Chain A
Amino acid sequence: MMASRERLYAIGADYRKAISGYDKIVKICCGTGCISSGALTVYDELQRVLSKRGLSSKQILVKKTGCHGLCERGPIVVFGDDEILYQNVGKRNIERDIAALLATINEDKIEDELLYKGDDKTKRYMSSFDIPFYSGQTRIVLSLNGVIDPENIEEYVGYGGYKSLHKALQMNPMEIVDLIEKSGLRGRGGGGFLTGFKWRSCRQAQGLPKYVVANGDEGDPGAFMDRSLMEGNPHGILEGMIIGGFAIGSNHGFIYVRDEYPLAVYRLSKAIDEARHHGFLGRSIMNSGFDFDISIFRGGGAFVCGESTALISSIEGKSGEPRAKYIHTTEKGLWGKPTNINNVETWSNVPYIIDRGWEWFQSIGSDRSKGTKVFSLVGKVKNTGLIEVPMGVSLREIIFNLGGGIQGDKKFKAVQTGGPSGGCIPEEFLEIPVDFDSLTKLGSMMGSGGMIVMDERNCMVDVARYFLKFLIEESCGKCTPCREGVRRMHEIVDRICRGDGSMGDIEHLEELGKAIQLSSLCGLGQSAPNPVLSTIKFFREEYRTHVQEKKCPAGVCKNLITVSILPERCTGCMRCAVECPVDCISSEKKEIHGIDQSLCTKCGTCFDVCRFGAVKIS
């Protein structure tokens, strides 16, 4: 084996040499989102066309990259170093779009149709740097997502990968722990515990062997940060873990990935094999004398297994039940040995901190929350996707600038942060900085970084019911308050939504919620009442209207609404009738429509499609 440093440089140099031989590089986003929009077809077609001799005289490298972030507009194709970003490629007309890609490759001809359009539909953005969705971001852990081919270690090394590992291996382990502590990095899985502090207590803990674990068990509905990182830049996670292992004094790491993420499992496995092959994993890593290896553990996909003690139980082969954390996992974790668990995003930050120093990391973010956070922005927002912003950016900035505002220009109502057990934050708090402490103060939380935006057509009681339903199904059932209490909360909320709410229900929910928060065994149970308590806190009036007036102001709860057509506005266009899934709308062209109330399921489709405001929900 070559001397470590030389080998690292050799791989990087080989890569740069190979890259310089190409006239053009075309990157096709092959994250799960873009794949589901047809990115693989675009890739195959383009490869097929290019392989036909004579169609291009240039040397072209077409590569698959990880998630680019702007999932709403996928498949996304990027040229060179982001000079040109094409969106929705191949979505409407694959042949025409492939021809356009060829034209760009051969003649540098820009296809206007495929460029990102601004809100006013006139301004077109060529490079991703100009699009507000991207320009508002600070990308650290996502910086190589959408740039490198995650299945090629040479690309990672070519972009500076494993340089930090080499640097760390020259340091004293304690020095690394100090550095991580000084950087102010806090756990990105949601807890927000100081990472350096955790590393220190694990390093100082008695008992061998020690383990490091990457938590990639992402279970929040609508969240895909961890998935994108594992799929888009698996080596970044490995490098962080190896450095962590060295600092803590561990020789074995586990990556816990839920089995629903097959692409992540595949790319991580490939990354591990390649890293081993190049001597970044295994015996005497980079000739340092330090041994470290990583195995992947595929979890069954229970939400609670993201909780550290349940995750440990799951790796040990037991059912995923959490245990009381009066003794920390850093002291007694996997098989009773000291174990350091961090979220994959936390691990991904580590190489950058080693490379650029703690001062640099500390300079990003807010007072007590340093660095950036990756969020998945979903719901009624225009630009759904994956973003990375410095901590402390306001919710308004995220939703209205990066997110482009609310779909259909409806009115913003609330944003749910922190996944199913987070809380709903109303408009009056949109200016608050997004960091661990501010969100907790509002009765919500950072969580792993899911953000679900809701508009005026979301009923907050119904939203609470939705999350409770999810939590009932995902409660492990070990402790009484979570297992029994959450389903009773759901019972009450469901009753309210059905119009059977009675006086005292709201107070009852508050009391039960408080008891569950105080007495549940793990974080899932302790935070399970949040969706209800935060919606009661900020939207009490809406609950009251449901209970006392038997009305749903947002027009969602089916038993409490009627859908009717306003004759004075109806133009007889038949659009509602065509879209109605149960054919309950009587219609003749140019005649005023009517709804057969006995058939209507109150789904609201007619309301959503009517262009004249002629459908009334009351």
Chain B
Amino acid sequence: MIEFKINGRHTRANDGETILDVARREGFVIPTLCHHEILGSDGRCRLCMVEVKKRKRKRIIASCLYMAESGIEVSTETPEIQLIRRTVLELFLARNPASEVIRYFAREYGVIDTRYTRDNDKGKCILCNSCVKTCETVVGVTAISLSGKGPHKKVTTPFDGPSNVCIGCGACMAVCPTGHIYMEDRNGIRTIWNRRFELTKCPRCGRYHAPLAQLEFIAQKSGTALDRLTVCQDCR
């Protein structure tokens, strides 16, 4: 059992638990935008930075990646940590002015406005990579990825075109923390990532319920007959 302190309070952790895991369980609030309980962390947004004192040495670390260690002292509200949070949120506010999530977080931490010129081409994407990881590890198709570098980095399909492996499942949209990914179902057609997917009509109730590509993918992967999958869940 690992024992350490968060903001002066004794806490316990299991092997392999991050500081963020422990802090959340113990009721300490550490903000983060890119951490996902199932997909894990890459340490991208840097909102969850905290100070760790190990013996005499102080370090500022990303709590989502740093494993709890015996004897360390974690502080989540030092002036430096506050400076980092405010800065990151102000930067996000300029990058994603339309994002309600960012605006909410910013307000929570006292960032009223941004001093920088607002981007109008980045949408609500904060490059957390959750959609990419979902597509790759949960769905298993890798239709999207991060491309480019620096400020030009973005999530996209290969060459920004319609991806030929995308199944239109919308898992990326579901996991996106800011609502950046656009998906629309209309007249039996689903539009996502610049591609149009034909939706399957349930033979019993007549409702459109899933893209054919997705059902074919599931049929192939699970060995279930496609006929069975075209019947919607409610009618099955």
Contacts and interface: CB of A to CB of B under 8 A. Distances in A.
Q: Do A and B bind each other?
A: yes
Interface of A: 302, 304, 319, 323-324, 326, 472-481, 483-485, 487-488, 491, 508, 511-512, 514-516, 518-521
A254 B203 CA distance: 59
Contact of A477 (B94, B116, B153): B153
Interface in B60-100: 60-62, 65-67, 80, 83-84, 86-88, 91-92, 94-95
Contacts, number: 100
Interface stretch (B5-13, B44-52, B166-174, B212-220): B44-52
B62 A515 contact: no
B149 interface: yes
A323 B62 CA distance: 11
Given A483-B150, A484-B95, A491-B116, A518 B80 contact: yes
A515 B148 CA distance: 25
Contacts of B84: 481, 515, 518-519
Nearest to A487: B151
B43 A519 contact: no
Interface size class of B (residues with CB under 8 A): 35 or more
6 contacts: A302-B149, A323-B43, A473-B150, A480-B45, A480-B92, A488-B116
Given A472-B151, A488-B94, A479 B44 contact: yes
Interface in B95-144: 95, 115-117, 126-127
A326 B50 CA distance: 14
The main secondary structure of chain B at its interface with chain A is mixed
B146 A485 contact: no
Contacts of A478: 42, 44, 127, 153
B57 interface: no
Contacts of B146: 319, 477
Contacts of B55: none
B92 A521 contact: no
B33 to A, nearest CB: 9
Residue in A483, A491, A521 with the greatest tally of chain B CB atoms within 10 Å: A483
B224 to A, nearest CB: 34
B152 interface: yes
A189 B175 CA distance: 40
B150 A481 contact: no
Contacts of A304: 149
B49 A519 contact: yes
Given A324-B43, A324-B65, A477 B152 contact: yes
Nearest to A320: B149
The main secondary structure of chain A at its interface with chain B is helix
A479 B62 CA distance: 11
Contact of A484 (B61, B62, B94, B152): B94
A480 B44 contact: yes
5 A-B pairs with least C-beta separation: A477-B153, A515-B87, A484-B91, A475-B150, A519-B84
A478 B46 CA distance: 10
A488 B116 CA distance: 7
B87 A477 contact: no
Contacts of B49: 518-519
A512 B153 contact: no
Interface string B180-208: 00000000000000000000000000000
Given A475-B151, A480-B91, 15 more contacts: A319-B146, A324-B62, A326-B66, A473-B150, A478-B44, A480-B126, A483-B127, A483-B150, A484-B95, A484-B151, A514-B83, A515-B84, A516-B87, A518-B60, A518-B80
Contacts of B83: 511, 514-515, 518
Given A326-B65, A518-B80, A519-B84, A477 B149 contact: yes
Nearest to B146: A319
Contacts of B126: 480
Contacts of B95: 484
Contacts of A474: 149-150
B127 to A, nearest CB: 7
B42 A480 contact: no
A481 B149 contact: no
A436 to B, nearest CB: 19
B46 A480 contact: yes
Nearest to A514: B83
Contacts of A520: 46
A481 B151 contact: no
Given A324-B65, A519-B60, A520-B46, A485 B149 contact: no
B115 A508 contact: yes
B43 A488 contact: no
B113 to A, nearest CB: 14
Given A488-B91, A488-B94, A488-B116, A519 B46 contact: yes
A508 B83 CA distance: 12
Nearest to B129: A478
A475 to B, nearest CB: 4
